[in-house]
Amino acid sequence: MTASVTSLVNQPYKYGFVTDIESDTIPAGLSEDVIRLISAKKNEPDFMLEFRLKAYRQWLKMDEPTWAEVGYAKIDYQKIVYYSAPKQQKKLNSLDEVDPTLLETFEKLGIPLSEQKRLSNVAVDAIFDSVSVATTFREKLFEAGVIFCSISEAMREYPELIRKYLGSVVPVGDNFFAALNAAVFTDGSFVYIPKGVACPMELSTYFRINNGDSGQFERTLIVAEEGSSVSYLEGCTAPMFDTNQLHAAVVELVALDDADIKYSTVQNWYAGDANGKGGIYNFVTKRGLCQGVNSKISWTQVETGSAITWKYPSCVLVGDNSVGEFYSVALTNNMQQADTGTKMVHVGKNTRSTIISKGISAGKSENSYRGLVKIGPKADGARNYSQCDSMLIGDTAGANTFPYIQVQNNTARVEHEASTSKIGEDQLFFFRQRGISAEDAISMMISGFCKDVFSQLPMEFAVEADRLLALKLEGSVG
Amino acid sequence: MISENSPIILSVNDLTANVDGTQILKGMNLEIKAGEIHAIMGPNGSGKSTFSKILAGHPAYEVTGGEVSFLGQNLLELEPEDRARSGVFLAFQYPLEIPGVSNLDFLRVAYNSRQKHQGLEELDAFDFDELVQQKLDVVKMDAAFLHRSVNEGFSGGEKKRNEILQMALLEPKLGILDETDSGLDIDALKIVADGVNQLSNPDNATLMITHYQRLLNYVVPDYVHVMANGRIIRSGTKDLALELEERGYDWVLDEAAAGVA
Ligand SMILES: Nc1ncnc2c1ncn2[C@@H]1O[C@H](COP(=O)(O)OP(=O)(O)O)[C@@H](O)[C@H]1O
Ligand SMILES: [Mg+2]
């Protein structure tokens, strides 16, 4: 691959700064005592401590998964810091009391939190290292009956909802990383949409890792009652360190009868440098339960960051006529590795699912799609449509597709399509010969390739996603 | 029409070039004036496509010697996109498919890049649509092709017509057509040839690369050159093409070899 292709994909990461702030950080290492300490610091109800300890005891007996197409040095779980929070212990009455350094940090990241500057129709929960530092528009949402707060607060203020739903979709012992998360998670967002309510604004959580030694273990729970709907977006960035940080999150969604949850992610964790030094290990479990009839859960993800991504946002379609969707763009460059996809588990009758996956690989990266479509014996009339497209930029990157299909009901219909395309020297030359610069050519080809996914993002973020991809690829083709 | 006083559009002097370390062009010389139509013929592998791509600036080819001047400027120091914007157009022998990019968007961005470069007005989607409708007539193409991805699923003939549509929009000073006739049935050939003739005028020039005389019945060249082994070994008028059609290439090659010897 010639220099021009390479130089086009390589842009400096602009969120790599570290905020200098005094923090309350516990020593590295994991034990029952550490878990008790976290639980105490968070002032949780007793059932939460039990939840954590149960998870921890299961985790101790589990092995780290090795089946994904990713390789990394063994993680030493005793070297990770499991709790780090900016010092600011007292309860805040308003955003004006948030440490200005933190407000500034989020502003620099393009997430203004203060009253005057905040995004007009998006409520934001801002999470810095282990804790939520601010949630905007809470009162306005509360008037509509919508609860949007940090999960720590929810554990104290809505213990019944937490007890009922936390771990109901992703059980504490679901997998190695989910169990670890259940044991040590420190914060995350909680959303509750009551019966019949269409959430009046976009909800969004912004995650920021700041501490170089800490892991980030957040947990998000969204419950949509009968006939309600919500659109939620998460974004994430981290400073550049030459060590790796572990991010092991869990997201659980519950949709009851006729409820509709749309969950979008724009993931831009630090990816490490061009030689693969540093970067986030993004090992995440996301699952939605379409529990009610006619319910719908739609995942849209734009994955551009992290040294390693391992995540499979899934839908369990229990309610009859329920719908699961997965729209994904995963871009890898340099030495990044991504093994990502989805699971669509059809349990109820006439359940439908759609999978649109677009993998873009540049540099020496490895990008795998891994997806499972499972049709259970009672899922009469279930349907799935999957489309997995790979785009190779240059000729040193790798792309794989691992579709798994299990059908136990002969009235089901499952369709799978796949394609591979390439942006190489000849494609670029064609554009350039017509007077179009290489940068514009890449951006046109990438936008075209991703449009079925980007069109699913909330308006404000679709433009952002387009720009983010163009930036990430700048310099990669020649 | 040709006249002695027409400005020179392209002048190539002793051009040599390599690909992957192998010399392919071994001293090309060619001069093309405004209003002229030239044809380069020659056996497969003689370097015709290589020559056309080098004129257009393909990065895989390394120019090792010689000069190319285009409208008085040194063409070799321009980036491919600047060559295009200044009026060099190459209709590819094998047009690529670009999935996901609509033909219409592609044409508009290309058109506006040229406009911008030349300090002319860029067109919005609405005005561009009007312009492109007129150009479709040049190649008798259906508007439905505008809304498909560039060349995706097009037949061979449709791809070639799409190339000429791009040429019609970009109105180059030098249009290079690399084997635009190959793979076309006679009706498609007539349409493409008719398009090329419509676009030809006293201010621009056309260089047709082909190894069949067939196209030259429809687009009549002022000059015909025979290329072999990386250089032009004989030039003449359109009668040369007819002679080649009748007698093949061997005699020219033999005579050239004898001449060199
Ligand atoms: N990338 C390449 N690497 C090595 N040889 C090449 C490459 N491209 C073209 N060639 C060689 O250059 C010569 C001229 O090719 P080309 O210009 O395509 O000829 P023509 O268009 O006259 O048929 C051929 O011998 C061909 O094999
Ligand atoms: Mg050729």
pLDDT tens digit string along A427-476? 999 999 999 998 889 889 988 899 889 888 877 677 777 777 776 666 56
The ligand 1 site (C-beta within 6 Å) comprises B 19-20, 22, 24, 42, 44-50
What is the mean predicted confidence (pLDDT) over A136-160? 89
What is the mean predicted confidence (pLDDT) over A269-277? 81
Q: Do A429 and B59 touch (CB under 8 A)?
A: yes
What is the mean predicted confidence (pLDDT) over A250-270? 92
Q: Which amino acid is at A309?
A: T
pLDDT tens digit string along A66-113? 888 888 888 889 988 888 876 764 555 556 666 677 677 667 666 666
Q: Do A445 and B100 touch (CB under 8 A)?
A: yes
- Residue A7 is predicted with a pLDDT of 45
- Residue A391 is predicted with a pLDDT of 92
- Residue A475 is predicted with a pLDDT of 59
Q: Taking chain B, what is the end-to-end CA distance rounded to the nearest angstrom? A: 37
Q: Which amino acid is at B12?
A: V
Please state, in angstroms and rounded to a whole number, the distance separating the CA atoms of residues A226 and A230.
Answer: 12
- Residue A1 is predicted with a pLDDT of 31
Which residue would you say has higher pLDDT here, A21 or A362? A362
Looking at the DSSP assignment, which residues form a beta bridge with residue A423? A393
pLDDT band, residue A12 (cuts 50/70/90): low
Nearest CA to ligand 1 atom 5: B19
- Residue A227 is predicted with a pLDDT of 98
Please state, in angstroms and rounded to a whole number, the distance separating the CA atoms of residues A27 and A20.
Answer: 19
pLDDT tens digit string along A222-235? 999 999 999 998 87
Whether pLDDT at A18 is above 80: no
User: Using CB atoms, which residue from A429, A438, A448 is nearest to B99?
Assistant: A448
What is the mean predicted confidence (pLDDT) over A9-33? 73
Positions of chain B with pLDDT under 70 = 1-4, 260-261
* Helix B156-170 with B103-117: angle, nearest 10 deg: 30
**pTM for the whole thing?**
0.83
- Short-list A238, A247, A213, A210, CA closest to A28: A213
CATH 3.40.50.2000 at B8-260, yes or no: no
pLDDT tens digit string along B49-70? 999 999 999 999 999 999 999 9
Q: Which residues of A touch B81 (CB under 8 A)?
A: 432-433, 435-438
Distance A255 CA to ligand 2 centre (A): 60
- Residue A451 is predicted with a pLDDT of 87
What is the mean predicted confidence (pLDDT) over A264-283? 83
Supply the mean pLDDT for chain A.
85
Q: Do A432 and B105 touch (CB under 8 A)?
A: no
**Percentage above 90 pLDDT, chain A:** 49
pLDDT tens digit string along B78-120? 999 999 999 999 999 999 999 889 999 999 999 999 999 999 9
pLDDT tens digit string along A401-434? 999 999 999 999 999 999 898 888 899 999 999 9
Task: Give yes or no for a contact between A6 and A70, defined as CB atoms under 8 angstroms apart.
Answer: no
What is the mean predicted confidence (pLDDT) over A6-16? 55
Tokens of A420: 């591979």
- Residue A68 is predicted with a pLDDT of 80
